[in-house]
Structure 1
Amino acid sequence: MRMRACLTEADAVTMMAACRREADKQGYAVSIAIVDDGGALLRLERMDGVSATSATVATRKAGTAGTTGKPSRFWEERVGERQVFLTFPGNLPIIGGVPIIHEGDCVGGIGVSGAPSEIDEQIALAGVSALVGPDAA
């Protein structure tokens, strides 16, 4: 039997704090969602002033990355090639979701919504880097 890592509450707290610092540094109010590898929500924060729908978008971006092991950017780019990727259940192919990879396994995902997509992704990457290091994101 193979053992594999899973995210803890402490991991989620560490990543959330790093995401919030990056959002503040970038000057954006955003929603940040952290999910496990099955897409189950571990932590969600919606900063003051960001739209209510951003919480749902962040959660879906995180779920897309966490369940597939690929950034939501990958899926956005794939939709241009094959629109069938729009129909994957729970998939939200919009830049801003990144997988959390630990020792070669996807253990979850972080999704951010409320800023321009490139900034959303940068904020999510800050959270991953806080847990697994800057080269793993």
Structure 2
Amino acid sequence: MADTPYLVALAVVELNGRRALPLGGQSWAAAQAETEPGELGRSLALDLLLRLLQRSEEGALRRLAGDDSLLLLEMPLEQMSERLPQLKATWLAGGDTDTLLNDLRALAGRRWRVTTAKYDGVSLSPLS
């Protein structure tokens, strides 16, 4: 189980004038066999977006990293539980957004941008 990667959905946003980095995740046992997160990734993204929609009652919601504001990241459980909270705290305290994205890129084994287009639905685009 320790080798099973974790799939994490996160959003780099501002909510009611304050930074927020909501996230959710789940172990991804099929990671070695699959090239993209498929339904699990879409489900994690949908859950995160629904939670953001509910929180939007607190105030205006704004993306802070353009198209990279909604990401799926594959990472070892240890990284997710130890390093990710440190990155989140640093960024919430006023850290640089580009630095956060670069640190997330280094932390994750594989990364996808979550996007949607009219008539195409949700797509997961690999990030290099």
Higher strand residue share: 2
TM-score by length of 2: 0.29
TM-score by length of 1: 0.28
Higher helix residue share: 1
